[in-house]
Amino acid sequence: MEHLANAHLLNWADIDWVLLDMDGTLLDLSFDNFFWREHVPMRYAEKHGLALEDARAQLEPKFLAVQHTLPWYCTDHWSRETGLDLAALKQEVRGRIGVIPGAEEFLRAVRRSGRRIWLATNAHRDSWRLKLEVTGIGQYFEQVICSHDYGHPKEDQRFWQALQAQQPFDPARTLFVDDSMPVLSAAEAYGIAQVIGIRKPDRNLPERPLPAMRSVATIAELTAGVPA
């Protein structure tokens, strides 16, 4: 599929709802990558008297066993699994939370255009609340859609069905932006008309291809096309 090098390729006249992912779309995924790949294994090793590599070896199968299911995103689940207070661990490194350059300008432009703008995240409640507190971007959203309140992650069609039942919106007039290919595919399968992927969710890593999806490097590329 095409790279949206030209922001005007989005037909904003057909968009009333803008649903946006948080981590990797608006916020730099380097925080989450550091947290799960470095900070949690380090604290797990300290708690259980393990070498860091042994801690990683114990945690990896636990992560893979629930990948793309609701427990994968649940800090309560991982607190039970690891014996660590995951919410407290995130507070320890909150200084690493950051907005992707240009993302806030996009949010302002969409708000000014009068469209309805929802945050749609798989992040557990204590995670998204912390991140909105640190970054201040919560002010731009009409509401926060947390998949834990709907019983299924965004990868699951049942999430979209439950969202539609509780918060009616028109998929044919909706833009959805996310950095996860399974989530993007689920949104497209549900009938979201305009689905855009993010190729560079982590500022420290190179762009990755999203060959089956219309995509931009970062959400900042969409700002110029938003009508005033």
For residue 75, the SS3 value is helix
Set 14, 85, 149, 170: catalytic member: 14
Across 84-120, b (16+ Cβ under 10 Å) vs e yields bebbebbeeeeeebebbeebbebbebbbeeebbbbbb
For residue 131, the SS3 value is helix
State the Cα–Cα distance between residues 169 and 174, nearest whole angstrom.
8
For residue 27, the SS3 value is strand
In the residue annotation, 32 being an active-site residue is answered as no
State the Cα–Cα distance between residues 228 and 112, nearest whole angstrom.
7
List, in order, residues 6 or more apart from 30 with CB less than 8 Å away: 96, 98, 202, 203, 204, 205
- Picking from 213, 174, 168, 216, the residue whose alpha carbon sits closest to that of residue 192 is 174
State the Cα–Cα distance between residues 47 and 98, nearest whole angstrom.
28
Catalytic residues: 14
